[in-house]
Amino acid sequence: MEKYKTSFILLTLLILSLFSSTTALANDYRIEKIAGNIYRFVDDRHRSVFLVTGEGVLITDPLNENAANWLKKEIEKRFNLPIRYVVFSHNHSDHIYGAKVFKAIETTFVSHQLAQKDIEITKADTIIPNVTFKQNMVITLGDNTVSLQYHGKNDGRGSISMLFQPEKILFVVDWIVVGRMPWRKLWSYDIQGMINSTKETLNLDFEIFVGGHAGIGNKSDVQRYLSYLEELYTAVIDGIHSGKTLAQLKESTRLDNYNDFGNYNSWLPLNVEGVYERLVEESGMGWRPDINNK
């Protein structure tokens, strides 16, 4: 009976995933104008931003091969301008695969030097950027500028912020999210790094925030996200000090000022678990003599 049930569930999941992957191909891609010359490209859960000027187009993450093919055709159809730059947000494959679609003599591929190194070392199936930077880089295209900045470790390797001027739009992937909780167990995130990097971005001159996932917001949404991260981090640290187990922390931690964030109820225990794991492993709270670990 149990076996029959499992195979039934598996079959249902298979049918559902086949259905959703075929519908995702054509219908889930879309382009939205954000402001001025800046557009948002949406593929299901992933988002990137691109800039269109008389001198050509600058795109950011190509996302994946199917998405990149669709985007390339749409840019040709709507604007008929060359793609001059492809700028990677960081090193993770779900954001930067598909870049080969844009390989052309007039196209420059840009990333932080740590992202480029990681792509090279791990033999990632994408373009190895030919222009890199260590701290800051400014790209001018037409009347627009795009300021790329590294804020230290936060997610993956060489993850940067991108500020589009004159539109005052900030694009950050993964380590800032608005309108939704940060991703499940905060896989691959450096929590202290996310907090520091987010603080730094608040000093930048932006009015609109666009994330690599979830919604579009403003500076106060980013401020609120930062407050959530700080309160989450403090709650778990204080909980560990008071001798609570992970199970107790997952059960008792409430940050209800943020219960309007998407997936609040289902992902809060996962966020707590992710922070706990990072504190135990990276900060060594699992073997500290001053902490009573059960």
Is 214 or 226 the residue whose CB approaches Zn ion more closely?
214
Q: Which of residues 170-199 bind Zn ion (CB under 5 A)?
A: 174
HSE of 237, CA atoms in CB hemisphere, 13 A: 11
Question: E-strand spans in the chain?
Answer: 29-35, 38-43, 46-53, 56-59, 83-87, 108-112, 131-133, 136-141, 144-150, 160-165, 169-172, 208-211, 216-218
Site membership for Zn ion, residue 221 (CB under 5 A): no
Residue 176 Cβ vs Zn ion, minimum distance, rounded to whole Å: 11
Residue 97 Cβ vs Zn ion, minimum distance, rounded to whole Å: 12
Beta strands at 38-43 and 46-53: parallel, antiparallel or unpaired: antiparallel
From 108, 95, 196, 205, select the one nearest 147 (Cα to Cα): 205
Residue 211 Cβ vs Zn ion, minimum distance, rounded to whole Å: 9
Residue 184 Cβ vs Zn ion, minimum distance, rounded to whole Å: 11
Residue 23 Cβ vs Zn ion, minimum distance, rounded to whole Å: 21
Q: How far is CA 248 from CA 243, 251, 252, in A?
A: 10, 5, 6
Is 94 or 277 the residue whose CB approaches Zn ion more closely?
94
By beta carbon distance, the residue nearest Zn ion is 174
CA distance 160 to 155: 9
For residue 88, give both structure tokens.
């990677």
Residue 239 sits at the vertex; the CA angle it makes with 233 and 245, to the nearest 5 degrees, is 115
CA dihedral 110, 114, 120, 123 (to 10 degrees): -110
Q: Which of residues 89-148 bind Zn ion (CB under 5 A)?
A: none
Is 46 or 224 the residue whose CB approaches Zn ion more closely?
46
Residue 49 Cβ vs Zn ion, minimum distance, rounded to whole Å: 14
Is 188 or 192 the residue whose CB approaches Zn ion more closely?
188
- Contact characters 65-84, Zn ion, x per CB under 5 A: --------------------
Is 43 or 174 the residue whose CB approaches Zn ion more closely?
174
| Region of 12-20, 166-174, 227-235, 254-262 interacting with Zn ion (CB under 5 A) | 166-174
Q: Which residues bind Zn ion (CB under 5 A)?
A: 174
